[in-house]
C-alpha cells in the first residue's frame, strides 16, 4: 500500500480560497503530491498523472462535478473521488453514488474534518487498485 506522501491528490474547485484551504489541510494530513485545478476540464486534461484521490467541487464550471465523475469513473474506475458541495439536493447525492463516488462531503463548518475522515477511510480500507 502507498503511504500518504506517495498518494497523488487532485483538488478541483473554482474558488482559489477553497483550493488553498484544501491543499493546506491535505499537507497537514501528510499528503505531498497535491495538484490544484480550477475546473473539471483542467482535471480531465491532466488525468494522465493518475491521481489516487480527487476532491471535486460539484460546481466547477464549465463542467458539472457529476459530468467529471462520470468521465473519470468510466476511464479510471480505481480512482477515488470525493465530491464536495454546498448542493443539498438529495437527487444529486443519489446520482453521485450511482456513478461511483467514494464520498460526498457537504461544504459547511465540518468539511475539513470530513475530508480527513474520508481520506483516512480510503487509505485504511486499503482499497487501492494499482494499474501499470
DSSP state of 122: H
Given a contact cutoff of 8 angstroms between Cβ atoms, the answer to whether 67 and 56 are in contact is no
Q: Which residue is it, cell 488525468? A: 47
Query: For residue 10, is pLDDT > 70?
Result: yes
Given a contact cutoff of 8 angstroms between Cβ atoms, the answer to whether 84 and 56 are in contact is yes
pTM of the model: 0.89
pLDDT category of residue 132 using cuts at 50, 70 and 90: very low
> Per residue in 79-121, pLDDT tens?
999 999 887 788 888 888 899 999 899 888 999 999 999 998 8
Q: Grid coordinates in use for 68? A: 467529471
Q: Grid coordinates in use for 87? A: 448542493
* pLDDT value of residue 28: 96
* pLDDT value of residue 80: 94
**Domains along the sequence of the chain with CATH:** 4-123 (3.40.50.2300)
The CA-based diameter of the chain, rounded to the nearest angstrom, is 39
Q: Grid coordinates in use for 74? A: 468510466
> Per residue in 34-65, pLDDT tens?
999 999 999 999 999 999 999 999 876 788 88
Instruction: Outline where DSSP puts E strands in 6-73.
Output: 8-12, 33-37, 53-57, 59-60, 63-64
Sign of the Cα torsion 130, 20, 102, 58 reads: negative
Strand partners, 36: 11
Amino acid at each position: 500500500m502507498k503511504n500518504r506522501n506517495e498518494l497523488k491528490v487532485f483538488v478541483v474547485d473554482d474558488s482559489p480560497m477553497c483550493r488553498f484551504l484544501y491543499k493546506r489541510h491535505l499537507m497537514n494530513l501528510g499528503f505531498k503530491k497535491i495538484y490544484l485545478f480550477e475546473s473539471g476540464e483542467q482535471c480531465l486534461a491532466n488525468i494522465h498523472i493518475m491521481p489516487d484521490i480527487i476532491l471535486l467541487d460539484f460546481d466547477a464550471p464549465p463542467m458539472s462535478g457529476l459530468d467529471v465523475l462520470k468521465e473519470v469513473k468510466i476511464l479510471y474506475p480505481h480512482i477515488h473521488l470525493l465530491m464536495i458541495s454546498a448542493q443539498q439536493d438529495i437527487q444529486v447525492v443519489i446520482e453521485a453514488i450511482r456513478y461511483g463516488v467514494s464520498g460526498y462531503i457537504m461544504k459547511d463548518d465540518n468539511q475539513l474534518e470530513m475530508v480527513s475522515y474520508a481520506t483516512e477511510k480510503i487509505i485504511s480500507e486499503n482499497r487501492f487498485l494499482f494499474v501499470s
